[in-house]
């Protein structure tokens, strides 16, 4: 006879996952302005330093745009910069996932991303 606890745990996990997805979907609905999202892997300190320098450059160039760093759990080895528009669409400003080795190719120069941002905002 199978233990009873497993089935309930599996159902509870499925319900929790569904609620989490709904919460994430609803959090973007009320967005009235564009947002820049930087997703970087937390396994290496180099990622964090580059993300901090990039977010600072973006805030200096476009102070009206909010910049969020890792709003959700980042993927392993990722470094991406995305512009989320108020209409729900998104534009990828930089992705370093497929770049490298060497590792330094994964990280953009802040000025490159600022130039891409200006293209999408104008």
CATH classification at residue 90: 3.40.30.10
Angle at 107 between CA 40 and CA 91, to 5 degrees: 70
Domain count, the chain: 1
- pTM metric for this prediction: 0.66
DSSP of 3-70: -HHHHHHHHHHHHHHHHHHHHHHHHTTT--S-EEEEEE-SSSHHHHHHHHHHHHHHHHH-TTS-EEE-
Domain interval for residue 69 = 35-121
The answer to whether residue 4 sits within a structural domain is: no
The answer to whether residue 7 sits within a structural domain is: no
Q: Spell out the per-residue pLDDT of the chain, length 122, in tens.
A: 666 655 555 555 555 555 555 555 455 545 578 899 988 887 766 667 788 888 898 899 888 989 998 888 888 878 889 999 889 898 998 888 787 777 777 788 888 888 988 888 87
Distance of alpha carbon 57 from alpha carbon 35, whole angstroms: 15
């Amino acid at each position: 006879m199978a233990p009873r606890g497993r089935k309930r745990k599996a159902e509870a996990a499925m319900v929790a996952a569904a609620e989490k997805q709904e919460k994430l979907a609803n959090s973007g609905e009320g967005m009235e302005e564009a947002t820049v999202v930087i997703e970087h892997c937390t396994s290496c300190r180099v990622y964090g330093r580059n993300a901090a320098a990039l977010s600072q450059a973006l805030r200096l160039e476009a102070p009206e745009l909010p910049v969020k760093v890792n709003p959700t759990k980042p993927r392993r080895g990722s470094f991406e910069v995305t512009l989320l528009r108020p209409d729900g669409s998104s534009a990828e400003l930089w992705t370093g996932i497929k770049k490298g080795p060497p590792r330094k190719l994964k990280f953009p120069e802040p000025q490159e991303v600022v130039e891409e941002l200006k293209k999408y905002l104008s």
